[in-house]
Amino acid sequence: MFMPESPAILPIQGRSLRMTLTCVRYTVDKILAAVALVLTAPVFLVMAVVARRRPGSLLRSQLRIGVDGRIFRMLGFRNAQHHGPLDTLPRLLNVLRGDMSLVGPRAPRPEELARQLRVRPGILTTR
C-alpha cells in the first residue's frame, strides 16, 4: 500500500523524542493519579474519621530529594501502622503536584543522600 509522505508527520528522534516521552509520562502520571484519588476518596474519608479520634493531622510528611536535587515533602497517612498500600495513597497528591512519578526510584531522605555520597559506590546495593 502506497502512503505519500506528509509534512505534518515528522519522525521524532533524539532529544525531541526524550522530551516527548517525558511529556507523555508526566501527563499519564497526572491523569492516573487523579483517577486513583477519586477512586480512593472513600479510603481517605475513613482514614480522616479514624484520625479525628487522635490529636494531630491526618497526613505526615518527610523531606525527600527529588529530580535535580529539589527537596519536597513526601506525604503519608499519620496513623498507618505499617508501611503499605494505605500509606502510599497520599503520595498520589505528590504525583499531582509534580514532585513524584507513579513509577521510579525511591526518593532518598537528605541524610541518606549525604551518607551515600561519603561511601564508594558498588555494583551491589546496600541500603
Mean pLDDT of 23-37: 95
The answer to whether residue 5 is domain-embedded is no
Q: How confident is the model at residue 86 (pLDDT cuts 50, 70, 90)?
A: confident
The answer to whether residue 27 is domain-embedded is yes
The answer to whether residue 124 is domain-embedded is no
- Residue 2, SS3? coil
The answer to whether residue 96 is domain-embedded is yes
Say which residues have a Cβ less than 8 Å from residue 72's Cβ, sequence separation at least 6.
63, 64, 65, 66, 94, 97, 99, 100, 107
Q: How confident is the model at residue 35 (pLDDT cuts 50, 70, 90)?
A: very high
The answer to whether residue 77 is domain-embedded is yes
- With 60 as the cut, is the pLDDT of residue 119 above it? yes
Maximum pairwise Cα distance, the chain: 70
The answer to whether residue 125 is domain-embedded is no
pLDDT at position 37 is 95
The answer to whether residue 1 is domain-embedded is no
Judge contact between 64 and 71, C-beta under 8 A.
Answer: yes
Alpha helical stretches, state H, 40-90: 41-52, 85-88
pLDDT at position 39 is 96
Which residues, listed in sequence order, are joined to residue 71 by a DSSP beta bridge?
Answer: 65
What grid cell was written down for 111? 541524610
Least Cα distance to 76 among 101, 54, 58 occurs for 58
pLDDT at position 55 is 80
The rounded percent of the chain whose pLDDT value lies above 70 is 83
Note down the domain range covering 95: 18-117
pLDDT at position 110 is 93
The answer to whether residue 76 is domain-embedded is yes
42-65 pLDDT, tens digit per residue, is 998 988 888 778 787 888 899 999
Q: How confident is the model at residue 11 (pLDDT cuts 50, 70, 90)?
A: low
Name the pTM for this structure.
Answer: 0.76
pLDDT at position 38 is 96
What is the count of structural domains for the chain? 1
